[in-house]
């Protein structure tokens, strides 16, 4: 299993696990946010054109035999599905996800920027609301239901890591799955 995709809700730890696994296994690590979003300051403000993100990701995945792709391809990356040897799905409770996201966004933008009156206040609140809807959202958005439907259609092995596990526990579980297959 040399081509691994790690997906789940925002705040579930896909990027963290992807980086840790890549380091441990000496695989290349790619994150979907780097393809979906154009570089902006502040980040995550402007989407990259669909064909451009697909071309960039295709080029990077073709550059190496062993890779880990973290993040979500929802709505734009189904062309990459045949490349996956393993999909790892992460899920944690809404409360823990939102707590992690608030901490991450505070580190990223600064507390005053995301508080009432801050430049990022509106965008931050919209993002947190969107992330809060993951467990109960429908198929028209990045949601648990959408991920469940998507995973049911895959022809590769799917590993579900649900609940609050440490990064090391997740790494060991994925490595054990790779060894068994």
Distances in Å between the alpha carbon of 174 and those of 18, 25, 43, 98, 106? 11, 11, 30, 25, 30
Q: What is the pLDDT of residue 5?
A: 98
Q: What is the pLDDT of residue 181?
A: 87
pTM: 0.94
DSSP letters spanning 94-141: HHHHHHHHHHHHHHHH-HHHHSTTSTTHHHHHHHHHHHHTTTT--TTS
Give CA–CA dist 56/152, Å, rounded: 27
Q: What is the pLDDT of residue 124?
A: 96
Domain ranges of the chain: 3-92+142-180
Give CA–CA dist 123/41, Å, rounded: 14
Give CA–CA dist 132/9, Å, rounded: 10
pLDDT truncated to tens, each residue of the chain (181 aa)?
999 999 999 999 999 999 999 999 999 999 999 999 999 988 899 999 999 999 999 999 999 999 999 999 988 999 999 999 999 999 999 999 999 999 999 999 999 999 999 999 999 999 999 999 999 999 999 999 999 999 999 999 999 999 999 999 999 999 999 999 8
Tokens representing residue 51 in the block: 């064909």
Q: Does domain 3-92+142-180 have CATH number 3.30.365.10?
A: no
Q: What is the pLDDT of residue 12?
A: 97
- Residues listed for the chain: 181
Find the angle CA(87)-CA(92)-CA(94) to the nearest 5 degrees. 130
Half-sphere exposure of 14 (CA within 13 A, CB side): 24
Which residue from 128, 175, 95, 134 is spatially nearest to 8, judged by alpha carbons? Answer: 134
Q: What is the pLDDT of residue 54?
A: 98
First to last CA, the chain: 7
């Amino acid at each position: 299993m040399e081509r691994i995709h790690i997906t789940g809700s925002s705040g579930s730890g896909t990027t963290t696990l992807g980086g840790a696994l890549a380091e441990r296994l000496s695989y290349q690590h790619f994150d979907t946010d780097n393809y979906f979003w154009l570089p902006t300051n502040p980040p995550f403000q402007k989407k990259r054109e669909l064909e451009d993100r697909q071309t960039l990701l295709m080029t990077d995945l073709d550059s190496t035999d062993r890779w880990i792709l973290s993040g979500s391809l929802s709505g734009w990356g189904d062309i990459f599905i045949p490349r996956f040897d393993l999909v790892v799905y992460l899920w944690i409770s809404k409360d823990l996800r939102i707590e992690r996201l608030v901490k991450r966004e505070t580190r990223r933008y600064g507390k005053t920027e995301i508080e009432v009156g801050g430049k990022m206040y509106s965008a931050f609140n919209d993002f947190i609301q969107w992330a809060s809807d993951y467990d109960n959202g429908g198929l028209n958005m990045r949601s648990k239901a959408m991920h469940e439907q998507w995973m049911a259609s895959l022809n590769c092995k799917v590993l579900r890591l649900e609940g609050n596990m440490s990064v090391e526990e997740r790494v060991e579980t994925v490595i054990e799955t790779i060894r068994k297959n």
